Structure formats: structure tokens, C-alpha cells
Chains A and B, each alone.
Chain A
Amino acid sequence: MAILKIAASIILLFSCIYLYQKENFKIEKIALEIQVEKIEKDYLKTIDKEWNGFLAIAKDTVLVKKNKVKLNEFDIDYQKITKQLKENPNNVNILESLIENLQRRLQLIKDIKEHMKELTQKNASNETIYIYIVFYFFY
């Protein structure tokens, strides 16, 4: 009878430890998922805002189309990464790929927007500029 009681206690103890670890893992996993979701949401919101800003200033349909294709390619890759992340939720390499994908997308739009801004300068000229070679001599 005493042996049965001890065995029951051990089983109960291990069950508690197992349940505790399982719960802890769940909490950790949920916390990470929430963090990832928040980062994804922030990025996607900014990307959307920047893209709409770009569309407002871009008049070249070829440029818009090419960049849209690029963003679609990034999005296809992003879907693959998120699928992998669901299968391996704690893999930091996948998380890095995911953030890098979002950051690259954002950078692509920011770069082309900055380029468009550079093209609209106030000083306009139609005269050729001549550069002359300068050699420095040190004594």
C-alpha cells in the first residue's frame, strides 16, 4: 500500500513538472508570436504608407510596374518564410529572414522615393558642364 502511495506521488510530481514545462513553453511561444506579429504589422503598415506615397509622386508607369513586380516577388518569398516560421516557430534564422525581407521591401520603396526626390531639383540647366583636370603637387 505504501509503495503504491509513493508511486502515485512520483507520477503526480512528474505530471506536474511536465505540465509546468509545457505551460511555460506555451507562454514563451505565445510571447514570441505576439512580438513577431507586432513587428510584421508595424512593417507592413509602413510599407503600405511608403508605397502609397510613391504612387502619389510616380508618373512613370514602367517604373511603377517594375517596382510592383519586385514587391510581389518579395511577398512570394515572405509567404514561404512565414510558412517555414509556423513549422519552426523558434528558429531565429527564419525570423532574421522574415525581418530582412520586410526591411528590404521598405528600403526598396524608400530608395526609389529618394531617387525621385533627387530628380526634382530647383536648379535646372541645359548647358554642358566642363571638368578640368587638377593635379596637386606637394613639395
Chain B
Amino acid sequence: MTFIRYPERRKENLLKGVNVKTSKKGDIVNLDVKNSMYVGMGNSPLYPMDSLKSAITNYMKFYKKNSGLYKTKDSLINEIKYSLGGELDSYLFSNKGKYANDAFIKKQKDIDKIFIIKLPKYVAIKIKALHSSLSFNYDIKKPMTANTFKGKLKFEKLLSKQNKFELIHGFFQVKEIKGGTYFFKGVYPTKIGSVSNTKISSETSTIKIGEVGENVSINDFSSKIYLYNFNENFTKFNLTGDYTELNLYKIKETNFSMDVFGLNTTLNMNNTKTSFGTSKDDKFTKILEKKRKENLPYLGNLEIELKNGVLNIK
């Protein structure tokens, strides 16, 4: 930890608050780290109070304007690779010229902190973390379980089929997922370069997937989901959602079949908004169907069930 402009006494207090314990029982090694909740969060402060609020408000406008745009798998992976943190952190940093105040920065106390843990690649990892920022810079092949609250998580590839993640708030970025079950609640954003053989449950999150591979299912409540591309043999994809906003891209140019069932659901397509299944008998009706084109390579089938949903076809 490097302290910038911190008085000695305050430094001592903060260092006393950092508590690292290790223990070993049989084959299990425990690492227990504690420190003040807000010491470890955030990047260097750049903005005085008056411009911080306007920067955050402008970020929200910027995000709203650009959130629906199409992305290739590679461009999403690049976003993950070069991201400085969450969407807000990246926006604040890339717009520092507009809002930052040098005189303010020079007066601020700051802590540069980085804790590096070297792990053998063959160990299975279990994470329980609150308000923590964790980055893994290697492909994880062994099973991993993670329970986090307000965690800022960044991964290269998660390859085990036994992975089990339960994330509440914070953000999650990974270049590739190849199996496991994932639960996201209030995770913003969830950026996944590509995913296959995975079950995702989500609530009030924003999920962006660069490429959907084989056997992926999503069960959602009140999230915004962006599926940019489908792999050339994704075989089948299932999504059930309540109050979900689903965004699909390049539908007419891609050879997959699709069945969408809806109840009280709005379809936005070709600049027209249409409501479907608003009858009172609570029955799903087929609102959209797309058949495969014969004699051309076939990707797979999408089965979607939306209740109180919004489907944007782009």
C-alpha cells in the first residue's frame, strides 16, 4: 500500500485495520483478509464534489444513448480486456479532461493498493467477499465457487463445468465461460465475451454477451439482456423472463430458428411497437417465429418465453 498525502497517525490506523490471516487444515488453505470497506474501493479521486454529480449524471445519459448498439464478440472482449473497472469508473477516467481539477487532485489523500496472491493453477478456489475488487489474470480450469456482495470481479476464462457463482451487486467481467451455474442480482454490468454449457439466473442486472454457444439457458427477472451474436453451432438456447428487456441483433442475417412466446409483452421491430398476449386468461401466445433456411449451415434454435417483457429486434 502506498499512501499519498496521508498523515502518519492516519496511516498507522489504516494499516492496523488491514488484517491478513492464513491457516491450513489438511488440503485446505484459508486466506482471510479484512480492511476498511472503502479503503480498497475506487480509483484515485479525480473530481471535486460539484463536478462528480454532473459527471455521473452525464455518464447515465451517455450510457442510455449507447447501450443498445451492436457489438461483435471481439469488441466486447476488448472492452473487458481494457476496462479499468465498472462502466462508471471507465467513463470517469476517460473523461477526466472534462471534469477533473488538478488543484483538487493535488490536495487529495489517496492510497495506491494492490494485493498480489500467487496461486498454483491446480487448486480449486472458493471466494467469499464483501466490497472487494478481484482480478484473475489466468484461465481458471479448476472448479470455483464465489459468493460476493458488491464485488468487482474480472476474469480471463472460467472453464470448469462445476463453477458456482452467486453475485449480488458489483460488476462481473469475463472473456469466456465454459460451464457452471451463475446467479447475478443487481450486477451492473455483467459482460461475458462468450458462454457455453451454462445456466444463468438473474435479477435486475445488465447482461451483455458477445457470443452465445451451445446449451445456454437464462432465467431472469427484470434485467436488461443483450445477446449480440450466436455461435455457429449453439444448438439450443432457452430464455424465460419476467419484466425482462431482451435485445437481439442481426436476426434476419443469421440462419437460426426462433420461437418467441409472450404474455403482456411488447415487440419493437422495424421501428414499430406492438403489444402481444394482453388477454386476461394468462396464456402465453406465440408472438414471433423464425424458420431456418434450408441448404445453408444451421446454427440452432432459440426458445424464448417472456412475461411482461420487452423484446427489441435490431
CA distance in complex: A82, B172 (Å): 26
How many A residues touch B, CB cutoff 8 Å? 48
Q: Does A30 have its Cβ within 8 Å of any Cβ on chain B?
A: no
**Residue in chain B with minimal CB distance to A70:** B204
Contacts of B272 in A (CB 8 A): 123
**Residue in chain A with minimal CB distance to B269:** A129
Partner of A129, one of B253, B264, B287: B287
CA distance in complex: A133, B273 (Å): 21
Instruction: Give chain B nearest CB distance to A63 CB in angstroms.
Output: 6
Q: Do residues B42 and A134 form an inter-chain contact, with CB atoms below 8 A?
A: no
Which residues of B, 277-314, contact A by the 8 Å Cβ criterion?
277-279, 285-293, 308, 310, 313
Interface of B is mostly: mixed
Which residues of A, 30-63, contact B by the 8 Å Cβ criterion?
32, 35-36, 39, 60, 63
Partner of A115, one of B52, B243, B252: B243
CA distance in complex: A135, B297 (Å): 13
Contacts of A73 in B (CB 8 A): 186
Q: Do residues B60 and A103 form an inter-chain contact, with CB atoms below 8 A?
A: yes
CA distance in complex: A73, B185 (Å): 12
Q: Does B148 have its Cβ within 8 Å of any Cβ on chain A?
A: no
Which residues of B, 35-64, contact A by the 8 Å Cβ criterion?
36-38, 41-42, 45, 47, 49-50, 52-53, 56-57, 60
Q: Does B162 have its Cβ within 8 Å of any Cβ on chain A?
A: no
Partner of A96, one of B45, B254, B258, B292: B45
Instruction: Give chain B nearest CB distance to A16 CB in angstroms.
Output: 22
Q: Do residues B308 and A66 form an inter-chain contact, with CB atoms below 8 A?
A: no
Partner of A128, one of B47, B243, B266, B287: B287
CA distance in complex: A93, B111 (Å): 11
Interface of A is mostly: helix
Q: Does B221 have its Cβ within 8 Å of any Cβ on chain A?
A: yes
Contacts of A120 in B (CB 8 A): 275
Q: Give A contacts to B, CB under 8 Å.
A: 32, 35-36, 39, 60, 63, 66, 70, 73, 77, 80-81, 84, 88, 90-97, 99-100, 103-104, 107-108, 111-112, 115, 118-121, 123-126, 128-136
- Beyond A77-B169, A115-B243, A128-B289, list 12 extra A-B contacts (CB 8 Å): A77-B150, A84-B38, A92-B49, A93-B42, A96-B42, A103-B60, A111-B224, A118-B273, A125-B274, A126-B285, A129-B267, A135-B253
